[in-house]
């Protein structure tokens, strides 16, 4: 049973909420949970880790999800994966918000969270650059794309944690659509070409082009 883990984690959040993070020692948590210091450190490697209980498991799930996705999936697989992460946190509900309260307050915990975000980003980058060709441009692009996906996730999650957002599903779709729009695979992009008969004045061409692009822009901004 992993009930011991949950017991300890609950005790930790309880005490952190009352006394604050810095002023509760691991001994406090252990005795509150009714276990020994030893079992605390066996269950969670550190005091910080007790805040993020199922992180490794989630990361492993995401990796599995990406590993099993077809090699032509590209960005779509990664955006799917990041949605899994977001909804995991949303499903936690108030517990996630308690954690946010702590990570907002305690620098060490904020850093820890940042680090785990970077783990996802690294994973995404690896898969994206694995799917693409091996050119330096493609690798930079993969890195930027991974960063953008994580940024989109972070943004929506933060808004949800702050109750600034009631429909995370819709917002993450919108945000990831923006990512898709700016990072969709080049193979989908076509080269625009404009053929102009000789004698047509440049001003007329410019007007026509602007009008044409205006339509495109409007269509793109709509989801």
Partner DNA sequence: CAATGAATGAGACTAAGTGTCATGCGGCAT
Partner DNA sequence: ATGCCGCATGACACTTAGTCTCATTCATTG
Note the residues at the interface with a second copy (CB under 8 A).
Answer: 111, 114-115, 118, 137, 139-141, 143-144, 146-148, 150-152, 154-155, 175, 178-179, 182-184, 186, 188-198, 202, 205-206, 209-210, 213, 218-223
The one of DNA, a second copy, none whose footprint includes residue 4, by CB under 5 to 8 A per kind, is DNA
| Partner touching 213 among DNA, a second copy, none, CB below 5 to 8 Å by kind | a second copy
Minimum distance from residue 186 beta carbon to DNA (Å): 45
Q: How far is CA 208 from the centre of its chain?
A: 41
Residue with the two structure tokens 């993969």: 142
- How does 153-170 read in b/e, with b if 16+ C-beta sit within 10 Å? bbebbebbbeeebeebee
Please count the other Cβ atoms lying within 10 Å of the Cβ belonging to residue 53.
22
205 binds, among DNA, a second copy, none (CB under 5 to 8 A by kind): a second copy
* Cβ at position 46, least distance to DNA in Å: 3
Considering the complex, what minimum distance in angstroms separates the CB of residue 9 from a second copy?
22
Q: CB of residue 187 vs a second copy: minimum separation in angstroms?
A: 11
With CB under 5 to 8 Å by kind, the binding choice for 36 among a second copy, DNA, none is DNA
Q: Which two tokens stand for residue 219?
A: 């269509």
Which does residue 67 touch among a second copy, DNA, none (CB within 5 to 8 A, set by kind)?
Answer: none
- The crossing angle, in degrees rounded to 10, of helices 94-105 and 107-131 is 110
Return the number of the residue (75 or 175) whose C-beta is nearest a second copy.
175
Task: Give me the least distance between CB of 179 and a second copy, in Å please.
Answer: 7
What single string gives the DSSP state of each residue in 142-208? HHHHHHHHHHHHHHHHHHHHTT--S-HHHHHHHHHHHHHHHH--GGG---------TT--HHHHHHH
**SS3 of the chain: helix, strand, coil, percent, to 5:** 75, 0, 25
Tokens 């005790």 sit on residue:
11
- Residue 37 or residue 158: which is nearer to DNA going by CB? 37
Look at residue 48 and give the partner it binds from a second copy, DNA, none, a contact being a CB closer than 5 to 8 Å depending on partner kind.
Answer: DNA
Q: Give me the residues that bind DNA (CB under 7 A), please.
A: 4, 25-27, 34-39, 41-43, 45-48
């Amino acid at each position: 049973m992993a009930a011991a883990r949950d017991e300890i984690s609950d005790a930790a959040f309880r005490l952190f909420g009352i006394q604050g993070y810095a002023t509760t020692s691991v001994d406090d948590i252990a005795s509150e949970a009714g276990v020994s210091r030893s079992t605390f450190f066996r269950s969670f490697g550190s005091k910080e880790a007790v805040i993020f209980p199922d992180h490794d498991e989630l990361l492993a799930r995401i990796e599995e999800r990406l590993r099993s996705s077809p090699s032509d999936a590209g960005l779509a697989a990664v955006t799917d994966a990041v949605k899994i992460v977001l909804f995991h946190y949303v499903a936690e509900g108030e517990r996630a918000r308690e954690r946010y309260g702590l990570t907002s307050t305690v620098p060490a915990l904020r850093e820890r969270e940042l680090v785990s975000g970077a783990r996802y980003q690294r994973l995404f980058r690896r898969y994206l650059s694995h799917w693409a060709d091996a050119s330096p441009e493609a690798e930079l692009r993969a890195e930027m794309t991974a960063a953008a996906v994580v940024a989109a996730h972070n943004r929506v999650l933060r808004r949800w944690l702050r109750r600034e957002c009631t429909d995370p599903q819709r917002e993450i779709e919108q945000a990831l659509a923006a990512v898709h729009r700016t990072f969709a695979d080049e193979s989908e992009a076509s080269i625009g070409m404009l053929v102009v008969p000789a004698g047509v004045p440049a001003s007329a061409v410019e007007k026509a082009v602007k009008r044409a692009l205006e339509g495109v822009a409007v269509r793109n901004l709509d989801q």
